[in-house]
Amino acid sequence: MRELLRSTAGERLGLAAYDADFAEAVDSVDGPILRTERIQTLREPGNPAWEAFTDGRWDDALRIAAEPDPESARFFAQLDKAGSALRRLRIVERPLTPYVIWELHALRHRAEAGERIRVLGADRLVGFEQRHGRIPELMVLGSQVLYEVMYDPSGTPVGARKLIEPGVVRACRVQIESLLEEAEPLDSYFRHEVAGRKPGP
């Protein structure tokens, strides 16, 4: 995928501009939104559940993550009305990082709200990534636009690079869909790899 991303010019957007552009694109989305997540430790400042997790307040982190989220509910309702959906491919490395353990707990509630999430072990991507490079963090909105989400060295989101070249958007979408087919549904992965686990030694 990285060769495809390098093959065309994109527009660099700061975080606020990316959020606004993404929201506008969702209004006219013409297919599923595909999300790839490859980084194993991210920072989510402003997310109360993540902040509780980083403070070591595990029970609070789980409780907050389980609370109803009206914004997410509106987002998934908007996608459903448009005949779309958000499909996330979460790549995981072993041993699971504390962040990934927390995130997979939190993602179960997003799945209940309407997000379609599948998990794929990084060990199954060795050949793919040798051929195509490490999977980037992407948001692909139907056939119209692709965002390469950018992070600083600490794992904090700083914006995105926007690409609209149809051939690149289509090729990345096809590759992600193929990987999603190989991946395991979140529920079953959670049961045999994460259930009952807490971050830490």
State pLDDT tens for residues 54-84. 999 999 999 999 999 999 989 999 999 889 9
- Residue 133 pLDDT grade (very low, low, confident, very high; cuts 50, 70, 90): confident
How does pLDDT run across 110-125, given as a tens digit for each residue? 999 999 999 999 999 9
> pLDDT > 90: what percent of the chain?
87
Question: What per-residue confidence (pLDDT) applies to 105?
Answer: 97
Asked whether the predicted pLDDT for residue 104 surpasses 70, the reply is yes
- For the chain, which residues make up each domain, given as ranges? 2-193
Q: pTM (2 decimals)?
A: 0.95
Here the tokens at position 45 are 């400042």
- Residues in Cβ contact with 35 at an 8 Å cutoff, skipping those fewer than 6 apart: 86, 87, 88, 89, 138, 139, 140
Asked whether the predicted pLDDT for residue 201 surpasses 70, the reply is no
Largest CA distance in the chain: 46
Question: What per-residue confidence (pLDDT) applies to 6?
Answer: 83
Check residue 146 and give left, alpha or beta (phi > 0: left; psi -120 to 50: alpha). Answer: beta
Q: Which class in CATH covers the domain with range 2-193?
A: alpha beta
Residue predicted with more confidence, 67 or 201: 67
